Structure 1
Protein backbone atom coordinates (compact mmCIF):
# COMPACT_ATOMS: atom_id res chain seq x y z
CA UNK A 1 0.00 0.00 0.00
CA UNK A 2 1.47 3.39 -0.97
CA UNK A 3 0.85 6.69 0.75
CA UNK A 4 0.65 10.01 -1.05
CA UNK A 5 4.27 10.59 -0.01
CA UNK A 6 5.29 7.50 -1.97
CA UNK A 7 6.25 5.40 1.09
CA UNK A 8 5.02 1.88 1.28
CA UNK A 9 3.27 0.78 4.45
CA UNK A 10 2.51 -2.69 5.59
CA UNK A 11 -0.96 -3.88 4.66
CA UNK A 12 -2.99 -3.99 7.86
CA UNK A 13 -6.28 -5.71 7.30
CA UNK A 14 -8.81 -6.24 10.01
CA UNK A 15 -10.62 -9.51 10.19
CA UNK A 16 -14.23 -8.88 9.35
CA UNK A 17 -17.12 -10.57 11.08
CA UNK A 18 -17.82 -12.53 7.91
CA UNK A 19 -14.26 -13.87 7.87
CA UNK A 20 -14.69 -15.01 11.47
CA UNK A 21 -18.02 -16.66 10.67
CA UNK A 22 -16.46 -18.44 7.70
CA UNK A 23 -13.55 -19.59 9.86
CA UNK A 24 -15.95 -20.87 12.53
CA UNK A 25 -17.99 -22.71 9.94
CA UNK A 26 -14.87 -24.22 8.45
CA UNK A 27 -13.89 -25.44 11.93
CA UNK A 28 -17.43 -26.60 12.64
CA UNK A 29 -18.09 -24.15 15.47
CA UNK A 30 -21.46 -23.08 14.03
CA UNK A 31 -22.41 -26.60 13.05
CA UNK A 32 -25.86 -27.82 14.13
CA UNK A 33 -24.17 -31.12 15.06
CA UNK A 34 -22.54 -29.41 18.04
CA UNK A 35 -24.76 -29.97 21.09
CA UNK A 36 -24.60 -26.34 22.23
CA UNK A 37 -25.91 -25.16 18.83
CA UNK A 38 -28.92 -27.43 18.71
CA UNK A 39 -32.40 -26.00 19.01
CA UNK A 40 -34.65 -28.19 21.17
CA UNK A 41 -38.28 -28.54 20.10
CA UNK A 42 -41.16 -29.98 22.15
CA UNK A 43 -43.61 -32.27 20.40
CA UNK A 44 -46.12 -34.95 21.30
CA UNK A 45 -44.87 -38.49 20.77
CA UNK A 46 -46.75 -41.80 20.74
CA UNK A 47 -46.75 -43.45 24.16
CA UNK A 48 -45.16 -46.61 22.73
CA UNK A 49 -42.32 -44.55 21.24
CA UNK A 50 -41.75 -42.89 24.61
CA UNK A 51 -41.79 -46.27 26.37
CA UNK A 52 -39.24 -47.66 23.89
CA UNK A 53 -37.01 -44.60 24.38
CA UNK A 54 -37.17 -44.98 28.18
CA UNK A 55 -36.35 -48.70 27.92
CA UNK A 56 -33.33 -47.78 25.79
CA UNK A 57 -32.11 -44.77 27.83
CA UNK A 58 -32.86 -46.08 31.33
CA UNK A 59 -33.27 -49.86 31.24
CA UNK A 60 -33.38 -50.04 35.06
CA UNK A 61 -36.51 -47.85 35.21
CA UNK A 62 -39.80 -49.71 35.58
CA UNK A 63 -42.31 -48.41 33.05
CA UNK A 64 -45.47 -47.11 34.74
CA UNK A 65 -49.02 -48.00 33.75
CA UNK A 66 -51.77 -45.45 33.29
CA UNK A 67 -50.02 -43.02 31.00
CA UNK A 68 -52.30 -40.29 29.65
CA UNK A 69 -49.88 -38.81 27.12
CA UNK A 70 -46.22 -38.44 26.24
CA UNK A 71 -44.09 -35.46 25.30
CA UNK A 72 -40.80 -35.54 23.49
CA UNK A 73 -37.99 -33.11 22.90
CA UNK A 74 -36.18 -33.21 19.60
CA UNK A 75 -33.01 -31.60 18.36
CA UNK A 76 -33.11 -29.31 15.34
CA UNK A 77 -32.40 -32.23 13.02
CA UNK A 78 -35.38 -34.21 14.36
CA UNK A 79 -33.47 -36.61 16.63
CA UNK A 80 -35.47 -37.58 19.72
CA UNK A 81 -33.39 -36.43 22.72
CA UNK A 82 -35.81 -37.06 25.58
CA UNK A 83 -39.31 -38.13 26.53
CA UNK A 84 -41.72 -37.69 29.41
CA UNK A 85 -44.75 -39.78 30.38
CA UNK A 86 -47.61 -37.90 32.10
CA UNK A 87 -50.53 -39.58 33.77
CA UNK A 88 -52.66 -39.85 36.85
CA UNK A 89 -51.04 -40.01 40.28
CA UNK A 90 -49.81 -43.43 41.36
CA UNK A 91 -50.42 -42.66 45.06
CA UNK A 92 -54.10 -42.68 46.05
CA UNK A 93 -53.52 -39.65 48.31
CA UNK A 94 -52.99 -37.47 45.23
CA UNK A 95 -55.63 -38.97 42.93
CA UNK A 96 -58.05 -36.10 43.44
CA UNK A 97 -58.89 -35.21 39.83
CA UNK A 98 -56.87 -32.00 40.08
CA UNK A 99 -53.42 -33.60 40.02
CA UNK A 100 -51.31 -35.05 37.20
CA UNK A 101 -47.98 -36.81 37.68
CA UNK A 102 -44.72 -36.96 35.77
CA UNK A 103 -44.53 -40.75 35.62
CA UNK A 104 -41.18 -41.01 33.86
CA UNK A 105 -38.60 -38.79 32.24
CA UNK A 106 -35.58 -39.96 30.25
CA UNK A 107 -33.06 -38.23 27.99
CA UNK A 108 -30.11 -39.30 25.91
CA UNK A 109 -27.88 -36.85 27.78
CA UNK A 110 -28.51 -33.88 25.50
CA UNK A 111 -27.89 -30.71 27.47
CA UNK A 112 -31.09 -29.02 28.73
CA UNK A 113 -33.42 -31.73 27.35
CA UNK A 114 -34.99 -32.55 30.72
CA UNK A 115 -35.28 -28.88 31.66
CA UNK A 116 -37.04 -28.08 28.40
CA UNK A 117 -39.50 -30.96 28.93
CA UNK A 118 -40.23 -29.96 32.52
CA UNK A 119 -40.67 -26.32 31.52
CA UNK A 120 -43.17 -27.26 28.82
CA UNK A 121 -45.31 -29.76 30.70
CA UNK A 122 -46.73 -27.52 33.45
CA UNK A 123 -48.36 -24.96 31.10
CA UNK A 124 -49.75 -27.86 29.09
CA UNK A 125 -51.36 -29.75 32.00
CA UNK A 126 -52.59 -26.49 33.50
CA UNK A 127 -54.31 -25.73 30.19
CA UNK A 128 -55.91 -29.20 30.40
CA UNK A 129 -57.50 -28.19 33.72
CA UNK A 130 -55.11 -29.73 36.25
CA UNK A 131 -54.26 -27.58 39.23
CA UNK A 132 -51.18 -29.49 40.42
CA UNK A 133 -48.39 -31.50 38.84
CA UNK A 134 -46.25 -33.81 40.95
CA UNK A 135 -43.02 -35.69 40.34
CA UNK A 136 -40.66 -37.85 42.36
CA UNK A 137 -36.89 -37.98 42.42
CA UNK A 138 -34.52 -40.30 44.18
CA UNK A 139 -33.17 -38.92 47.44
CA UNK A 140 -29.72 -38.66 45.85
CA UNK A 141 -31.00 -36.62 42.85
CA UNK A 142 -30.77 -32.86 43.50
CA UNK A 143 -33.82 -32.13 41.29
CA UNK A 144 -32.22 -29.04 39.77
CA UNK A 145 -34.32 -29.18 36.59
CA UNK A 146 -37.51 -29.57 38.65
CA UNK A 147 -36.55 -26.57 40.79
CA UNK A 148 -35.75 -24.50 37.70
CA UNK A 149 -39.17 -25.40 36.22
CA UNK A 150 -40.97 -24.11 39.34
CA UNK A 151 -41.47 -27.36 41.29
CA UNK A 152 -40.95 -27.30 45.05
CA UNK A 153 -40.39 -30.09 47.56
CA UNK A 154 -43.48 -31.18 49.49
CA UNK A 155 -43.56 -32.90 52.85
CA UNK A 156 -44.79 -36.48 52.78
CA UNK A 157 -48.51 -36.95 53.39
CA UNK A 158 -49.55 -38.72 56.59
CA UNK A 159 -49.33 -42.47 56.17
CA UNK A 160 -47.17 -42.26 53.05
CA UNK A 161 -44.15 -44.51 53.34
CA UNK A 162 -41.41 -45.44 50.90
CA UNK A 163 -38.66 -47.96 51.22
CA UNK A 164 -40.89 -50.80 52.42
CA UNK A 165 -39.62 -53.29 49.85
CA UNK A 166 -36.10 -54.58 49.48
CA UNK A 167 -34.17 -52.44 47.02
CA UNK A 168 -36.52 -49.44 47.25
CA UNK A 169 -34.89 -46.04 47.34
CA UNK A 170 -36.31 -43.17 49.33
CA UNK A 171 -38.03 -40.68 47.07
CA UNK A 172 -38.56 -36.94 47.29
CA UNK A 173 -41.95 -35.52 46.32
CA UNK A 174 -42.01 -32.38 44.19
CA UNK A 175 -45.05 -30.35 43.13
CA UNK A 176 -46.01 -27.27 41.20
CA UNK A 177 -49.51 -25.95 41.64
CA UNK A 178 -51.81 -23.31 40.28
CA UNK A 179 -52.39 -20.45 42.69
CA UNK A 180 -55.77 -20.55 44.37
CA UNK A 181 -55.77 -24.10 45.68
CA UNK A 182 -58.56 -26.57 45.01
CA UNK A 183 -61.61 -25.72 42.94
Structure 2
Protein backbone atom coordinates (compact mmCIF):
# COMPACT_ATOMS: atom_id res chain seq x y z
CA UNK A 1 0.00 0.00 0.00
CA UNK A 2 1.45 3.35 -1.03
CA UNK A 3 1.30 6.41 1.17
CA UNK A 4 1.98 10.05 0.45
CA UNK A 5 4.84 11.66 2.38
CA UNK A 6 6.41 15.14 2.30
CA UNK A 7 9.82 15.59 0.73
CA UNK A 8 12.18 18.52 0.21
CA UNK A 9 13.32 19.60 -3.24
CA UNK A 10 16.86 18.54 -2.35
CA UNK A 11 15.69 15.03 -1.42
CA UNK A 12 13.42 14.77 -4.49
CA UNK A 13 16.24 15.89 -6.78
CA UNK A 14 18.55 13.27 -5.25
CA UNK A 15 15.92 10.63 -6.10
CA UNK A 16 15.65 11.97 -9.67
CA UNK A 17 19.45 11.95 -10.00
CA UNK A 18 19.50 8.30 -9.00
CA UNK A 19 16.50 6.90 -10.87
CA UNK A 20 15.34 9.10 -13.78
CA UNK A 21 16.04 7.61 -17.22
CA UNK A 22 16.67 10.83 -19.13
CA UNK A 23 16.20 14.01 -17.07
CA UNK A 24 18.37 15.76 -14.54
CA UNK A 25 17.18 17.42 -11.30
CA UNK A 26 15.31 20.73 -11.44
CA UNK A 27 16.35 24.15 -10.12
CA UNK A 28 13.15 25.19 -8.36
CA UNK A 29 9.61 24.11 -7.55
CA UNK A 30 6.32 25.10 -5.97
CA UNK A 31 6.10 21.80 -4.08
CA UNK A 32 7.37 18.23 -4.11
CA UNK A 33 5.69 15.07 -2.88
CA UNK A 34 6.82 11.49 -2.46
CA UNK A 35 5.30 8.03 -2.42
CA UNK A 36 6.43 5.55 0.21
CA UNK A 37 5.83 1.83 0.51
CA UNK A 38 5.98 2.21 4.30
CA UNK A 39 9.71 1.56 4.44
CA UNK A 40 11.32 3.70 1.75
CA UNK A 41 10.60 6.36 -0.85
CA UNK A 42 9.55 4.69 -4.12
CA UNK A 43 8.74 7.78 -6.19
CA UNK A 44 8.68 11.57 -6.30
CA UNK A 45 6.80 14.32 -8.11
CA UNK A 46 8.29 17.80 -8.45
CA UNK A 47 5.72 20.44 -9.37
CA UNK A 48 6.57 23.97 -10.50
CA UNK A 49 5.63 26.75 -12.85
CA UNK A 50 5.08 25.78 -16.48
CA UNK A 51 8.29 25.80 -18.52
CA UNK A 52 6.40 27.41 -21.42
CA UNK A 53 5.93 31.09 -20.72
CA UNK A 54 2.71 30.95 -22.77
CA UNK A 55 1.14 28.61 -20.21
CA UNK A 56 2.45 30.43 -17.13
CA UNK A 57 -0.77 32.28 -16.31
CA UNK A 58 -0.62 32.03 -12.51
CA UNK A 59 -3.34 29.37 -12.42
CA UNK A 60 -1.43 26.52 -14.07
CA UNK A 61 1.36 24.34 -12.69
CA UNK A 62 3.49 21.67 -14.35
CA UNK A 63 4.74 18.33 -13.09
CA UNK A 64 8.34 19.05 -14.06
CA UNK A 65 9.63 15.67 -12.89
CA UNK A 66 7.94 12.43 -11.95
CA UNK A 67 10.23 9.56 -11.12
CA UNK A 68 9.81 6.17 -9.48
CA UNK A 69 11.93 3.13 -8.78
CA UNK A 70 9.47 1.03 -10.80
CA UNK A 71 7.05 0.29 -7.96
CA UNK A 72 3.66 -0.71 -9.37
CA UNK A 73 1.08 2.12 -9.51
CA UNK A 74 3.48 4.69 -8.01
CA UNK A 75 3.30 6.96 -11.09
CA UNK A 76 -0.50 7.20 -11.21
CA UNK A 77 -0.56 7.55 -7.40
CA UNK A 78 1.79 10.56 -7.62
CA UNK A 79 0.03 12.17 -10.62
CA UNK A 80 -3.29 11.98 -8.74
CA UNK A 81 -1.77 13.34 -5.53
CA UNK A 82 -0.03 16.19 -7.38
CA UNK A 83 -3.36 17.25 -8.90
CA UNK A 84 -5.15 17.12 -5.53
CA UNK A 85 -2.42 19.25 -3.96
CA UNK A 86 -2.35 21.79 -6.82
CA UNK A 87 -6.15 22.05 -6.83
CA UNK A 88 -6.22 22.53 -3.05
CA UNK A 89 -3.68 25.35 -3.42
CA UNK A 90 -6.07 27.10 -5.82
CA UNK A 91 -4.57 26.15 -9.17
CA UNK A 92 -7.00 25.41 -12.01
CA UNK A 93 -4.83 23.25 -14.28
CA UNK A 94 -1.87 20.87 -14.03
CA UNK A 95 0.15 19.83 -17.08
CA UNK A 96 3.03 17.54 -17.87
CA UNK A 97 4.89 16.21 -20.89
CA UNK A 98 6.01 12.72 -21.87
CA UNK A 99 8.01 11.44 -24.81
CA UNK A 100 5.99 10.13 -27.76
CA UNK A 101 7.66 6.77 -27.17
CA UNK A 102 6.00 6.53 -23.73
CA UNK A 103 2.47 5.15 -23.35
CA UNK A 104 0.99 7.60 -20.85
CA UNK A 105 -0.87 4.76 -19.13
CA UNK A 106 -0.16 6.16 -15.65
CA UNK A 107 -1.52 9.56 -16.66
CA UNK A 108 -4.62 8.02 -18.22
CA UNK A 109 -5.17 5.92 -15.10
CA UNK A 110 -5.00 9.11 -13.01
CA UNK A 111 -7.65 10.78 -15.18
CA UNK A 112 -5.39 13.07 -17.22
CA UNK A 113 -6.13 13.79 -20.90
CA UNK A 114 -3.67 13.93 -23.77
CA UNK A 115 -4.13 17.24 -25.59
CA UNK A 116 -1.71 16.47 -28.38
CA UNK A 117 1.82 16.49 -29.67
CA UNK A 118 3.92 19.53 -28.97
CA UNK A 119 7.39 20.85 -28.48
CA UNK A 120 10.37 20.22 -30.62
CA UNK A 121 12.98 17.59 -30.84
CA UNK A 122 15.83 19.87 -29.81
CA UNK A 123 16.34 23.27 -28.25
CA UNK A 124 17.42 25.97 -30.64
CA UNK A 125 18.68 29.53 -30.35
CA UNK A 126 21.60 31.07 -28.49
CA UNK A 127 20.81 29.38 -25.18
CA UNK A 128 20.58 25.88 -26.65
CA UNK A 129 22.79 23.39 -24.82
CA UNK A 130 25.69 21.89 -26.77
CA UNK A 131 24.54 18.37 -25.83
CA UNK A 132 20.90 17.22 -25.78
CA UNK A 133 19.51 17.17 -22.24
CA UNK A 134 16.82 14.62 -23.11
CA UNK A 135 16.00 12.23 -25.96
CA UNK A 136 15.37 14.05 -29.25
CA UNK A 137 11.69 13.14 -29.63
CA UNK A 138 8.47 15.06 -29.88
CA UNK A 139 6.49 15.33 -26.65
CA UNK A 140 2.87 14.68 -25.74
CA UNK A 141 1.21 17.14 -23.38
CA UNK A 142 -1.21 15.78 -20.81
CA UNK A 143 -3.35 17.92 -18.55
CA UNK A 144 -6.03 17.81 -15.93
CA UNK A 145 -8.13 20.80 -14.96
CA UNK A 146 -10.76 21.88 -12.50
CA UNK A 147 -14.17 20.95 -13.80
CA UNK A 148 -12.62 18.55 -16.29
CA UNK A 149 -11.70 15.69 -13.95
Q: Structure 1 length normalisation: TM-score?
A: 0.70
Task: Indicate the RMSD between aligned Cα atoms, in angstroms.
Answer: 1.7
What does 1:4-153 correspond to in 2, within 5 Å? 39-58=1-20, 60-76=22-38, 78-153=39-114
Contact 2:16 2:24 in 1 (8 A): no
What does 1:168-179 correspond to in 2, within 5 Å? 168-179=136-147
Q: How many residues align?
A: 138
Deviation at 1:59, TM superposition (A): 5.6
Deviation at 1:169, TM superposition (A): 1.6
Q: Greater Rg, structure 1 or structure 2?
A: 1
CA–CA distance in structure 1, aligned partners of residues 42 and 91 of structure 2: 26
Q: Which runs of 5+ in 2 are unaligned?
A: 124-131
Contact 2:9 2:28 in 1 (8 A): no
Deviation at 1:135, TM superposition (A): 0.5
- Higher RCO (Cα < 8 Å, 6 or more apart): 2
Q: Which runs of 5+ in 1 are unaligned?
A: 1-38
CA–CA distance in structure 2, aligned partners of residues 45 and 155 of structure 1: 31
